[in-house]
Structure 1
Amino acid sequence: MGRAPLSDNNQNLLAEQRRAMILDEVRRRGGVRVNELTRRLKVSDMTVRRDLDALARQGMVEKVHGGAVPVVEASTHEPGFEAKSALETSAKEEIARAAARLVVPGAAIALSGGTTTYALARQLLEVPGLTVVTNSVQVADVFHTAQDMGTTVVLTGGVRTPSDALVGPVADQAIRTLHFDLLFLGVHGVSVAAGLSTPNLAEAETNRQLMRAARQVVVVADHTKWGTVGLSSFAPLTAVDVWVTDSGMGPEDRTRIPELLPRLVIAGETEATAADG
Protein backbone atom coordinates (compact mmCIF):
# COMPACT_ATOMS: atom_id res chain seq x y z
CA MET A 1 0.00 0.00 0.00
CA GLY A 2 1.26 3.52 -0.76
CA ARG A 3 1.27 6.43 1.61
CA ALA A 4 -2.27 7.23 2.77
CA PRO A 5 -3.78 10.04 0.66
CA LEU A 6 -4.74 13.29 2.29
CA SER A 7 -8.15 12.73 3.84
CA ASP A 8 -10.51 13.94 6.52
CA ASN A 9 -9.28 11.16 8.83
CA ASN A 10 -5.81 12.70 9.17
CA GLN A 11 -6.63 14.82 12.22
CA ASN A 12 -3.81 14.28 14.70
CA LEU A 13 -0.70 14.00 12.60
CA LEU A 14 2.72 15.02 13.81
CA ALA A 15 4.25 17.93 11.93
CA GLU A 16 6.77 15.62 10.21
CA GLN A 17 4.03 13.28 8.99
CA ARG A 18 1.84 16.15 7.87
CA ARG A 19 4.63 17.80 5.90
CA ALA A 20 5.60 14.51 4.26
CA MET A 21 2.00 14.06 3.12
CA ILE A 22 1.85 17.63 1.82
CA LEU A 23 5.10 17.12 -0.09
CA ASP A 24 3.80 13.91 -1.66
CA GLU A 25 0.63 15.72 -2.70
CA VAL A 26 2.61 18.59 -4.25
CA ARG A 27 4.74 16.18 -6.24
CA ARG A 28 1.81 14.02 -7.31
CA ARG A 29 -0.53 16.83 -8.35
CA GLY A 30 1.99 19.47 -9.36
CA GLY A 31 0.74 21.88 -6.69
CA VAL A 32 -1.62 22.36 -3.76
CA ARG A 33 -3.75 25.18 -2.38
CA VAL A 34 -3.82 26.20 1.29
CA ASN A 35 -7.60 25.99 1.54
CA GLU A 36 -7.58 22.42 0.21
CA LEU A 37 -4.99 21.36 2.76
CA THR A 38 -6.79 22.96 5.70
CA ARG A 39 -9.99 21.15 4.73
CA ARG A 40 -8.40 17.76 4.15
CA LEU A 41 -6.01 17.79 7.09
CA LYS A 42 -8.50 19.47 9.44
CA VAL A 43 -5.92 21.94 10.69
CA SER A 44 -5.83 25.70 10.72
CA ASP A 45 -4.76 27.95 7.88
CA MET A 46 -1.84 29.10 10.05
CA THR A 47 -0.66 25.49 10.59
CA VAL A 48 -0.66 24.78 6.86
CA ARG A 49 1.22 27.98 6.12
CA ARG A 50 3.84 27.09 8.75
CA ASP A 51 4.21 23.66 7.14
CA LEU A 52 4.66 25.23 3.70
CA ASP A 53 7.18 27.70 5.13
CA ALA A 54 9.19 24.82 6.61
CA LEU A 55 9.14 22.86 3.35
CA ALA A 56 10.14 25.97 1.42
CA ARG A 57 13.10 26.60 3.75
CA GLN A 58 14.28 23.06 3.08
CA GLY A 59 14.04 23.72 -0.65
CA MET A 60 11.33 21.12 -1.13
CA VAL A 61 8.53 23.35 -2.46
CA GLU A 62 8.14 26.82 -3.85
CA LYS A 63 5.48 28.96 -2.23
CA VAL A 64 3.08 30.72 -4.58
CA HIS A 65 0.01 32.85 -3.93
CA GLY A 66 -2.51 30.63 -2.14
CA GLY A 67 -0.41 27.47 -2.07
CA ALA A 68 2.79 25.76 -3.22
CA VAL A 69 4.27 24.05 -6.28
CA PRO A 70 7.24 21.67 -6.73
CA VAL A 71 10.73 23.09 -6.93
CA VAL A 72 12.28 22.53 -10.34
CA GLU A 73 15.81 21.49 -9.47
CA ALA A 74 18.83 21.51 -11.73
CA SER A 75 20.42 18.11 -12.30
CA THR A 76 23.51 19.44 -10.50
CA HIS A 77 21.62 20.38 -7.31
CA GLU A 78 22.94 18.45 -4.31
CA PRO A 79 21.12 18.98 -0.98
CA GLY A 80 23.20 18.88 2.18
CA PHE A 81 23.07 16.03 4.71
CA GLU A 82 20.98 18.02 7.20
CA ALA A 83 18.38 18.98 4.58
CA LYS A 84 18.06 15.40 3.35
CA SER A 85 17.82 14.08 6.90
CA ALA A 86 14.47 15.84 7.31
CA LEU A 87 12.91 14.06 4.32
CA GLU A 88 11.01 10.75 4.37
CA THR A 89 12.36 9.90 7.82
CA SER A 90 9.82 7.18 8.57
CA ALA A 91 10.41 5.55 5.19
CA LYS A 92 14.17 5.57 5.73
CA GLU A 93 13.82 3.87 9.09
CA GLU A 94 11.63 1.16 7.55
CA ILE A 95 14.13 0.66 4.73
CA ALA A 96 16.99 0.48 7.22
CA ARG A 97 15.28 -2.22 9.27
CA ALA A 98 14.56 -4.30 6.17
CA ALA A 99 18.09 -3.88 4.80
CA ALA A 100 19.68 -4.81 8.13
CA ARG A 101 18.09 -8.25 7.85
CA LEU A 102 20.34 -8.94 4.86
CA VAL A 103 23.47 -8.68 7.04
CA VAL A 104 24.93 -11.66 8.92
CA PRO A 105 27.43 -11.48 11.80
CA GLY A 106 31.05 -11.34 10.69
CA ALA A 107 30.30 -10.01 7.20
CA ALA A 108 32.41 -7.46 5.36
CA ILE A 109 30.06 -4.76 4.13
CA ALA A 110 30.26 -1.28 2.65
CA LEU A 111 27.93 1.66 3.22
CA SER A 112 28.02 4.63 0.87
CA GLY A 113 27.20 8.17 1.87
CA GLY A 114 23.58 9.20 2.41
CA THR A 115 20.89 9.61 5.02
CA THR A 116 19.35 6.18 4.37
CA THR A 117 22.69 4.41 4.84
CA TYR A 118 23.10 6.51 7.99
CA ALA A 119 19.80 5.10 9.27
CA LEU A 120 20.99 1.61 8.32
CA ALA A 121 24.23 2.06 10.27
CA ARG A 122 22.22 2.59 13.46
CA GLN A 123 20.34 -0.64 12.79
CA LEU A 124 23.60 -2.57 12.44
CA LEU A 125 25.09 -1.63 15.80
CA GLU A 126 23.98 -4.90 17.40
CA VAL A 127 25.38 -7.13 14.63
CA PRO A 128 28.69 -8.50 15.95
CA GLY A 129 31.98 -8.87 14.13
CA LEU A 130 31.28 -6.66 11.14
CA THR A 131 33.91 -5.07 8.97
CA VAL A 132 32.41 -1.84 7.63
CA VAL A 133 33.94 0.08 4.74
CA THR A 134 32.42 3.53 4.24
CA ASN A 135 33.07 6.82 2.53
CA SER A 136 30.55 8.53 4.83
CA VAL A 137 31.77 10.62 7.75
CA GLN A 138 28.33 10.35 9.34
CA VAL A 139 28.18 6.56 9.04
CA ALA A 140 31.67 6.17 10.50
CA ASP A 141 30.67 8.34 13.47
CA VAL A 142 27.69 6.07 14.21
CA PHE A 143 29.99 3.09 14.78
CA HIS A 144 32.73 5.14 16.44
CA THR A 145 30.47 6.46 19.19
CA ALA A 146 28.59 3.21 19.81
CA GLN A 147 29.40 0.44 22.23
CA ASP A 148 32.03 -1.84 20.73
CA MET A 149 30.55 -4.98 19.13
CA GLY A 150 33.85 -6.00 17.56
CA THR A 151 33.19 -3.84 14.51
CA THR A 152 36.11 -2.76 12.35
CA VAL A 153 35.46 0.48 10.46
CA VAL A 154 37.46 1.50 7.41
CA LEU A 155 36.83 5.15 6.48
CA THR A 156 38.15 6.12 3.08
CA GLY A 157 39.82 9.46 2.60
CA GLY A 158 38.74 11.93 -0.02
CA VAL A 159 37.06 15.25 -0.62
CA ARG A 160 33.90 15.89 1.41
CA THR A 161 30.65 16.52 -0.50
CA PRO A 162 27.63 18.51 0.77
CA SER A 163 26.07 15.18 1.78
CA ASP A 164 29.14 14.29 3.88
CA ALA A 165 30.48 11.61 1.53
CA LEU A 166 34.22 11.34 0.85
CA VAL A 167 34.88 11.10 -2.89
CA GLY A 168 37.58 11.61 -5.49
CA PRO A 169 40.92 9.94 -6.35
CA VAL A 170 41.99 9.28 -2.76
CA ALA A 171 38.73 7.48 -1.96
CA ASP A 172 38.77 5.65 -5.29
CA GLN A 173 42.31 4.34 -4.75
CA ALA A 174 41.50 3.05 -1.26
CA ILE A 175 38.35 1.26 -2.45
CA ARG A 176 40.13 -0.45 -5.38
CA THR A 177 42.21 -2.52 -2.94
CA LEU A 178 39.20 -3.80 -0.97
CA HIS A 179 36.56 -6.49 -1.37
CA PHE A 180 33.29 -6.84 0.53
CA ASP A 181 30.26 -9.12 0.61
CA LEU A 182 27.54 -6.47 0.43
CA LEU A 183 27.41 -2.85 -0.63
CA PHE A 184 24.51 -0.76 0.65
CA LEU A 185 24.27 2.14 -1.75
CA GLY A 186 22.32 5.34 -1.26
CA VAL A 187 21.45 7.15 -4.47
CA HIS A 188 20.20 10.55 -5.60
CA GLY A 189 18.03 9.11 -8.36
CA VAL A 190 16.88 5.86 -9.96
CA SER A 191 15.29 5.68 -13.40
CA VAL A 192 14.91 3.33 -16.35
CA ALA A 193 16.78 5.54 -18.81
CA ALA A 194 19.49 6.97 -16.53
CA GLY A 195 19.91 4.07 -14.11
CA LEU A 196 21.58 5.19 -10.87
CA SER A 197 22.63 8.84 -10.86
CA THR A 198 24.11 11.59 -8.72
CA PRO A 199 24.57 15.35 -9.15
CA ASN A 200 28.24 15.02 -8.15
CA LEU A 201 30.70 13.87 -10.84
CA ALA A 202 33.38 12.76 -8.38
CA GLU A 203 30.83 10.83 -6.33
CA ALA A 204 29.73 9.01 -9.49
CA GLU A 205 33.22 7.55 -9.96
CA THR A 206 33.57 6.67 -6.27
CA ASN A 207 30.24 4.86 -6.41
CA ARG A 208 31.46 2.89 -9.42
CA GLN A 209 34.49 1.76 -7.45
CA LEU A 210 32.29 0.71 -4.53
CA MET A 211 30.10 -1.34 -6.85
CA ARG A 212 33.09 -3.05 -8.49
CA ALA A 213 34.43 -4.09 -5.08
CA ALA A 214 31.15 -5.70 -3.93
CA ARG A 215 29.88 -9.22 -4.47
CA GLN A 216 26.31 -7.94 -4.17
CA VAL A 217 24.89 -4.43 -4.58
CA VAL A 218 21.88 -3.39 -2.49
CA VAL A 219 20.33 0.00 -3.28
CA VAL A 220 18.58 1.58 -0.28
CA ALA A 221 16.36 4.41 -1.53
CA ASP A 222 12.86 5.62 -0.75
CA HIS A 223 10.14 5.84 -3.39
CA THR A 224 10.73 9.54 -4.12
CA LYS A 225 14.07 8.64 -5.78
CA TRP A 226 12.26 6.71 -8.53
CA GLY A 227 12.22 8.84 -11.68
CA THR A 228 14.78 11.34 -10.34
CA VAL A 229 17.84 11.94 -12.54
CA GLY A 230 21.08 13.60 -11.45
CA LEU A 231 23.83 15.02 -13.62
CA SER A 232 25.92 11.85 -13.84
CA SER A 233 24.79 8.26 -14.33
CA PHE A 234 27.16 5.76 -12.75
CA ALA A 235 25.46 2.38 -13.25
CA PRO A 236 22.53 0.80 -15.09
CA LEU A 237 19.69 -0.87 -13.20
CA THR A 238 21.07 -4.24 -14.33
CA ALA A 239 24.04 -3.70 -11.99
CA VAL A 240 21.74 -3.74 -8.94
CA ASP A 241 21.04 -7.02 -7.15
CA VAL A 242 18.47 -5.78 -4.64
CA TRP A 243 16.53 -2.55 -4.20
CA VAL A 244 15.07 -1.96 -0.74
CA THR A 245 12.43 0.77 -0.80
CA ASP A 246 9.31 1.78 1.13
CA SER A 247 5.57 1.29 0.83
CA GLY A 248 5.12 4.62 -0.96
CA MET A 249 6.09 2.93 -4.23
CA GLY A 250 3.04 2.90 -6.51
CA PRO A 251 1.37 -0.32 -7.70
CA GLU A 252 2.38 0.12 -11.35
CA ASP A 253 6.02 0.63 -10.43
CA ARG A 254 5.94 -2.36 -8.07
CA THR A 255 4.98 -4.49 -11.04
CA ARG A 256 7.46 -2.91 -13.41
CA ILE A 257 10.61 -2.70 -11.30
CA PRO A 258 11.04 -6.47 -10.71
CA GLU A 259 11.18 -6.81 -14.49
CA LEU A 260 14.21 -4.50 -14.52
CA LEU A 261 16.30 -5.86 -11.63
CA PRO A 262 16.52 -9.19 -9.80
CA ARG A 263 14.89 -8.34 -6.49
CA LEU A 264 12.65 -5.65 -5.04
CA VAL A 265 12.04 -5.48 -1.29
CA ILE A 266 9.19 -3.31 -0.01
CA ALA A 267 10.05 -2.52 3.60
CA GLY A 268 7.36 -3.56 6.03
CA GLU A 269 5.60 -5.74 3.47
CA THR A 270 6.07 -9.10 1.82
CA GLU A 271 8.93 -8.61 -0.58
CA ALA A 272 8.33 -8.94 -4.29
CA THR A 273 10.95 -10.91 -6.19
CA ALA A 274 11.60 -11.70 -9.80
CA ALA A 275 14.60 -13.88 -9.11
CA ASP A 276 16.65 -14.08 -5.93
CA GLY A 277 19.90 -13.83 -7.78
Structure 2
Amino acid sequence: MSENSNLLAEQRRALIVDEVRRQGGVRVNELTRWLNVSDMTIRRDLDALAGQGMLAKVHGGAVPVLEASTHEPGFEAKSGLELTAKEAIAREAARLVAPGSAVALSAGTTTYSLVPHLLKVAGLTVVTNSLPVADAFEQALRLGGPGVHPATVVLTGGVRTPSDALVGPLADRAIRSLHFDLLFLGSHGISVEAGLSTPNLAEAETNRCFIASARRVVAVADHTKWGTVGLSSFAKLSEVDTLVTEAALPEEIRAAVAEQVREIVIARV
Protein backbone atom coordinates (compact mmCIF):
# COMPACT_ATOMS: atom_id res chain seq x y z
CA MET A 1 0.00 0.00 0.00
CA SER A 2 1.46 3.33 -1.05
CA GLU A 3 1.73 5.98 1.62
CA ASN A 4 1.95 8.77 -0.97
CA SER A 5 -1.56 8.51 -2.38
CA ASN A 6 -4.23 10.70 -0.75
CA LEU A 7 -6.92 8.34 -1.97
CA LEU A 8 -5.26 5.31 -0.39
CA ALA A 9 -4.68 7.29 2.81
CA GLU A 10 -8.44 8.00 2.96
CA GLN A 11 -9.19 4.31 2.43
CA ARG A 12 -6.76 3.34 5.17
CA ARG A 13 -8.30 5.83 7.58
CA ALA A 14 -11.78 4.55 6.79
CA LEU A 15 -10.60 1.05 7.69
CA ILE A 16 -9.11 2.35 10.94
CA VAL A 17 -12.37 4.05 11.94
CA ASP A 18 -14.36 0.92 11.14
CA GLU A 19 -11.96 -1.26 13.18
CA VAL A 20 -12.06 1.13 16.16
CA ARG A 21 -15.87 1.09 16.16
CA ARG A 22 -16.01 -2.69 15.67
CA GLN A 23 -13.53 -3.59 18.41
CA GLY A 24 -14.15 -0.67 20.74
CA GLY A 25 -10.49 0.35 20.51
CA VAL A 26 -7.21 -0.54 18.78
CA ARG A 27 -3.49 -0.24 19.50
CA VAL A 28 -1.00 1.44 17.17
CA ASN A 29 1.11 -1.72 16.87
CA GLU A 30 -1.97 -3.74 15.87
CA LEU A 31 -2.75 -1.26 13.11
CA THR A 32 0.82 -1.19 11.79
CA ARG A 33 0.84 -4.99 11.44
CA TRP A 34 -2.66 -5.15 9.94
CA LEU A 35 -2.18 -2.35 7.42
CA ASN A 36 1.52 -2.95 6.78
CA VAL A 37 2.55 0.67 7.26
CA SER A 38 4.91 2.46 9.60
CA ASP A 39 4.24 3.50 13.17
CA MET A 40 4.61 7.15 12.09
CA THR A 41 1.99 6.72 9.35
CA ILE A 42 -0.55 5.27 11.79
CA ARG A 43 0.08 8.06 14.29
CA ARG A 44 -0.48 10.64 11.53
CA ASP A 45 -3.69 8.85 10.58
CA LEU A 46 -4.90 8.87 14.18
CA ASP A 47 -4.06 12.57 14.53
CA ALA A 48 -6.04 13.36 11.38
CA LEU A 49 -9.02 11.23 12.42
CA ALA A 50 -9.05 12.67 15.93
CA GLY A 51 -8.99 16.16 14.41
CA GLN A 52 -12.10 15.26 12.37
CA GLY A 53 -13.83 13.92 15.47
CA MET A 54 -13.92 10.39 14.06
CA LEU A 55 -12.16 8.79 17.05
CA ALA A 56 -10.39 9.68 20.28
CA LYS A 57 -6.67 9.13 20.74
CA VAL A 58 -5.47 7.40 23.91
CA HIS A 59 -2.02 6.31 25.01
CA GLY A 60 -0.84 3.72 22.50
CA GLY A 61 -3.96 3.69 20.31
CA ALA A 62 -7.47 4.98 19.77
CA VAL A 63 -11.04 4.44 21.00
CA PRO A 64 -14.45 5.42 19.59
CA VAL A 65 -15.87 8.85 20.21
CA LEU A 66 -18.79 8.37 22.56
CA GLU A 67 -21.55 10.53 21.13
CA ALA A 68 -25.17 10.40 22.20
CA SER A 69 -27.56 9.09 19.56
CA THR A 70 -29.61 12.25 20.08
CA HIS A 71 -26.69 14.62 19.35
CA GLU A 72 -27.48 16.68 16.26
CA PRO A 73 -24.62 18.76 14.81
CA GLY A 74 -25.61 22.03 13.14
CA PHE A 75 -25.36 22.63 9.40
CA GLU A 76 -22.33 24.89 9.74
CA ALA A 77 -20.47 22.36 11.88
CA LYS A 78 -20.87 19.68 9.20
CA SER A 79 -20.47 21.83 6.10
CA GLY A 80 -16.67 21.99 6.30
CA LEU A 81 -16.13 18.22 6.62
CA GLU A 82 -15.13 15.88 3.75
CA LEU A 83 -15.55 18.62 1.13
CA THR A 84 -13.65 16.78 -1.61
CA ALA A 85 -15.67 13.61 -1.08
CA LYS A 86 -19.00 15.46 -1.01
CA GLU A 87 -18.18 17.29 -4.24
CA ALA A 88 -17.26 14.03 -5.98
CA ILE A 89 -20.43 12.34 -4.74
CA ALA A 90 -22.59 15.28 -5.83
CA ARG A 91 -21.02 15.35 -9.28
CA GLU A 92 -21.68 11.63 -9.77
CA ALA A 93 -25.19 11.74 -8.30
CA ALA A 94 -26.26 14.58 -10.60
CA ARG A 95 -25.60 12.33 -13.61
CA LEU A 96 -28.68 10.34 -12.57
CA VAL A 97 -31.02 13.31 -13.21
CA ALA A 98 -32.87 13.61 -16.51
CA PRO A 99 -33.98 17.01 -17.86
CA GLY A 100 -37.51 17.93 -16.90
CA SER A 101 -37.55 15.75 -13.77
CA ALA A 102 -39.23 16.40 -10.44
CA VAL A 103 -36.42 16.05 -7.91
CA ALA A 104 -36.54 16.09 -4.11
CA LEU A 105 -33.58 16.90 -1.87
CA SER A 106 -33.68 16.13 1.83
CA ALA A 107 -31.65 18.26 4.24
CA GLY A 108 -27.93 17.76 4.64
CA THR A 109 -24.53 19.06 3.58
CA THR A 110 -24.07 16.39 0.89
CA THR A 111 -27.43 17.14 -0.73
CA TYR A 112 -26.44 20.83 -0.50
CA SER A 113 -23.38 20.02 -2.62
CA LEU A 114 -25.71 18.88 -5.42
CA VAL A 115 -27.08 22.38 -6.07
CA PRO A 116 -24.52 23.69 -8.60
CA HIS A 117 -24.67 20.42 -10.52
CA LEU A 118 -28.47 20.34 -10.70
CA LEU A 119 -28.50 23.90 -12.01
CA LYS A 120 -26.87 22.52 -15.17
CA VAL A 121 -29.89 20.27 -15.85
CA ALA A 122 -32.72 21.87 -17.80
CA GLY A 123 -36.33 22.10 -16.71
CA LEU A 124 -36.12 20.76 -13.16
CA THR A 125 -38.71 21.11 -10.44
CA VAL A 126 -36.91 20.85 -7.10
CA VAL A 127 -38.64 20.24 -3.76
CA THR A 128 -36.63 20.49 -0.55
CA ASN A 129 -37.05 20.88 3.19
CA SER A 130 -33.53 22.32 3.50
CA LEU A 131 -33.22 26.07 4.01
CA PRO A 132 -29.56 26.17 2.81
CA VAL A 133 -30.46 24.19 -0.34
CA ALA A 134 -33.36 26.52 -1.17
CA ASP A 135 -31.20 29.61 -0.50
CA ALA A 136 -28.38 28.29 -2.71
CA PHE A 137 -30.80 27.68 -5.58
CA GLU A 138 -32.37 31.11 -5.16
CA GLN A 139 -29.02 32.94 -5.18
CA ALA A 140 -27.69 31.01 -8.19
CA LEU A 141 -30.89 31.50 -10.19
CA ARG A 142 -30.90 35.22 -9.39
CA LEU A 143 -27.30 35.63 -10.58
CA GLY A 144 -27.72 33.38 -13.61
CA GLY A 145 -24.66 32.90 -15.78
CA PRO A 146 -23.39 30.38 -18.35
CA GLY A 147 -24.84 26.90 -17.97
CA VAL A 148 -27.40 27.85 -15.31
CA HIS A 149 -30.86 26.63 -16.31
CA PRO A 150 -34.09 28.04 -14.85
CA ALA A 151 -35.66 25.76 -12.24
CA THR A 152 -38.79 25.76 -10.14
CA VAL A 153 -37.81 25.46 -6.46
CA VAL A 154 -40.36 24.56 -3.78
CA LEU A 155 -39.46 24.88 -0.08
CA THR A 156 -41.70 22.98 2.30
CA GLY A 157 -42.90 24.66 5.46
CA GLY A 158 -42.24 23.27 8.90
CA VAL A 159 -40.25 23.71 12.09
CA ARG A 160 -36.53 24.38 11.78
CA THR A 161 -34.03 21.87 13.21
CA PRO A 162 -30.36 22.49 14.22
CA SER A 163 -29.37 21.10 10.79
CA ASP A 164 -31.56 23.75 9.08
CA ALA A 165 -34.18 21.23 7.97
CA LEU A 166 -37.89 22.04 8.00
CA VAL A 167 -39.81 19.17 9.60
CA GLY A 168 -43.09 18.36 11.32
CA PRO A 169 -46.73 17.97 10.24
CA LEU A 170 -46.71 20.91 7.82
CA ALA A 171 -43.67 19.61 5.94
CA ASP A 172 -44.97 16.03 6.02
CA ARG A 173 -48.36 17.01 4.62
CA ALA A 174 -46.81 18.98 1.75
CA ILE A 175 -44.43 16.16 0.81
CA ARG A 176 -47.15 13.47 0.92
CA SER A 177 -49.18 15.42 -1.66
CA LEU A 178 -46.34 15.37 -4.21
CA HIS A 179 -44.69 12.77 -6.43
CA PHE A 180 -40.98 12.81 -7.29
CA ASP A 181 -39.06 11.09 -10.05
CA LEU A 182 -35.94 11.08 -7.91
CA LEU A 183 -35.12 11.68 -4.25
CA PHE A 184 -31.62 12.54 -3.04
CA LEU A 185 -31.47 11.49 0.58
CA GLY A 186 -28.86 12.54 3.11
CA SER A 187 -28.45 10.96 6.54
CA HIS A 188 -26.66 11.42 9.84
CA GLY A 189 -25.44 7.81 9.77
CA ILE A 190 -25.65 4.48 7.93
CA SER A 191 -25.22 0.89 9.08
CA VAL A 192 -26.31 -2.54 7.87
CA GLU A 193 -28.43 -3.10 10.97
CA ALA A 194 -29.95 0.37 11.47
CA GLY A 195 -30.07 1.52 7.85
CA LEU A 196 -30.24 5.30 7.47
CA SER A 197 -30.76 7.25 10.69
CA THR A 198 -30.95 10.72 12.21
CA PRO A 199 -30.86 12.09 15.78
CA ASN A 200 -34.10 14.03 15.15
CA LEU A 201 -37.40 12.15 15.46
CA ALA A 202 -39.39 14.69 13.45
CA GLU A 203 -36.80 14.73 10.67
CA ALA A 204 -36.95 10.94 10.49
CA GLU A 205 -40.70 11.12 9.84
CA THR A 206 -40.26 13.81 7.20
CA ASN A 207 -37.64 11.66 5.46
CA ARG A 208 -40.06 8.72 5.49
CA CYS A 209 -42.59 10.94 3.70
CA PHE A 210 -39.98 11.81 1.08
CA ILE A 211 -39.25 8.12 0.50
CA ALA A 212 -42.93 7.23 0.17
CA SER A 213 -43.40 9.94 -2.48
CA ALA A 214 -40.37 9.04 -4.62
CA ARG A 215 -40.12 6.64 -7.56
CA ARG A 216 -36.37 6.27 -7.05
CA VAL A 217 -34.41 6.79 -3.83
CA VAL A 218 -30.76 7.80 -4.06
CA ALA A 219 -28.79 7.96 -0.80
CA VAL A 220 -25.70 10.18 -0.87
CA ALA A 221 -23.10 9.65 1.86
CA ASP A 222 -19.34 9.69 2.31
CA HIS A 223 -17.49 6.94 4.17
CA THR A 224 -17.48 8.81 7.50
CA LYS A 225 -21.25 8.25 7.85
CA TRP A 226 -20.71 4.50 8.02
CA GLY A 227 -21.21 2.93 11.44
CA THR A 228 -22.89 6.02 12.92
CA VAL A 229 -26.39 5.40 14.29
CA GLY A 230 -28.79 8.20 15.22
CA LEU A 231 -31.78 7.95 17.51
CA SER A 232 -34.30 7.14 14.78
CA SER A 233 -33.97 4.99 11.66
CA PHE A 234 -35.98 6.21 8.69
CA ALA A 235 -35.00 3.77 5.93
CA LYS A 236 -33.70 0.23 5.59
CA LEU A 237 -30.87 -0.23 3.12
CA SER A 238 -33.26 -2.34 1.06
CA GLU A 239 -35.42 0.77 0.52
CA VAL A 240 -32.52 2.52 -1.21
CA ASP A 241 -32.33 2.10 -4.98
CA THR A 242 -28.89 3.66 -5.40
CA LEU A 243 -26.14 4.54 -2.91
CA VAL A 244 -23.65 7.11 -4.17
CA THR A 245 -20.51 7.11 -2.03
CA GLU A 246 -16.76 7.42 -2.56
CA ALA A 247 -13.79 5.13 -2.95
CA ALA A 248 -12.65 5.49 0.67
CA LEU A 249 -15.51 3.20 1.73
CA PRO A 250 -13.74 -0.13 2.43
CA GLU A 251 -14.45 -3.09 0.16
CA GLU A 252 -15.87 -5.25 2.96
CA ILE A 253 -18.40 -2.56 3.81
CA ARG A 254 -19.35 -2.18 0.15
CA ALA A 255 -19.92 -5.93 -0.03
CA ALA A 256 -22.24 -5.86 3.00
CA VAL A 257 -24.19 -2.91 1.57
CA ALA A 258 -24.42 -4.50 -1.89
CA GLU A 259 -26.45 -7.37 -0.42
CA GLN A 260 -29.29 -4.94 0.30
CA VAL A 261 -28.92 -1.85 -1.91
CA ARG A 262 -29.85 -2.35 -5.56
CA GLU A 263 -26.94 -0.30 -6.94
CA ILE A 264 -23.75 1.26 -5.55
CA VAL A 265 -22.07 4.09 -7.45
CA ILE A 266 -18.50 4.90 -6.43
CA ALA A 267 -17.48 8.51 -7.03
CA ARG A 268 -13.79 8.99 -7.77
CA VAL A 269 -12.26 11.82 -5.77
TM-score in same-fold range (> 0.5): yes
Q: 2-side partners of 1:191 and 1:26: how far apart?
A: 14
Residues 22 and 252 of structure 1, relative CA distance in 2, 3 Å threshold = closer
Cα deviation digits, residues 210-263 of structure 1 (max 9, x gap): 011111110011122222211111122221111111101111222232221211
Aligned to 1:265: 265
Residue 132 (structure 1) aligned to one of 99, 113, 126: 126
Q: 2-side partners of 1:227 and 1:54: how far apart?
A: 18
Question: Would the aligned equivalents of 1:25 and 1:32 in 2 still touch at CA under 8 Å?
Answer: no
Aligned to 2:238: 238
Question: Would the aligned equivalents of 2:192 and 2:256 in 1 still touch at CA under 8 Å?
Answer: no
Aligned to 2:114: 120
Aligned to 1:111: 105
Q: 2-side partners of 1:246 and 1:26: how far apart?
A: 16
Residues 257 and 157 of structure 1, relative CA distance in 2, 3 Å threshold = same
Aligned to 1:94: 88
Q: 2-side partners of 1:244 and 1:174: how far apart?
A: 27
In the alignment, does 2:208 pair up with 1:214? Answer: no
Aligned to 1:81: 75
Q: 1-side partners of 2:261 and 2:62: how far apart?
A: 35
- Give the residue type in structure 1 aligned to 2:41: R
Deviation at 1:92, TM superposition (A): 0.9
Aligned to 2:40: 39
Cα deviation digits, residues 169-224 of structure 1 (max 9, x gap): 11111111111100000011222221221110000100010011111110011122
Q: 1-side partners of 2:193 and 2:266: how far apart?
A: 22
Question: Would the aligned equivalents of 2:11 and 2:250 in 1 still touch at CA under 8 Å?
Answer: no
Tell me the TM-score normalised to structure 1 length: 0.78
Question: Would the aligned equivalents of 2:89 and 2:245 in 1 still touch at CA under 8 Å?
Answer: yes
Unaligned regions of 5+ residues in structure 2, if any? 33-37
Q: How many residues align?
A: 249
State, as a whole percentage, how many aligned pairs show the same letter: 61
Aligned to 1:250: 250
| SS of 2:181 mapped into structure 1 | strand
Residues 26 and 211 of structure 1, relative CA distance in 2, 3 Å threshold = closer
- Give the residue type in structure 1 aligned to 2:209: Q
User: Equivalent residues in 2 for 1:112-191 (5 A)?
Assistant: 112-146=106-140, 147=144, 149-191=149-191
- Give the residue type in structure 2 aligned to 1:264: I
Q: 2-side partners of 1:192 and 1:18: how far apart?
A: 24
- Give the residue type in structure 1 aligned to 2:266: I
Aligned to 2:35: none
Unaligned regions of 5+ residues in structure 1, if any? 270-277
Aligned to 2:226: 226
Moved more, 185-194 or 153-162: 185-194
Question: Would the aligned equivalents of 1:175 and 1:209 in 2 still touch at CA under 8 Å?
Answer: yes
Q: 1-side partners of 2:105 and 2:194: how far apart?
A: 22
Moved more, 63-72 or 195-204: 63-72
Cα deviation digits, residues 75-130 of structure 1 (max 9, x gap): 11111111211222211111101100001111110000001001111221211211
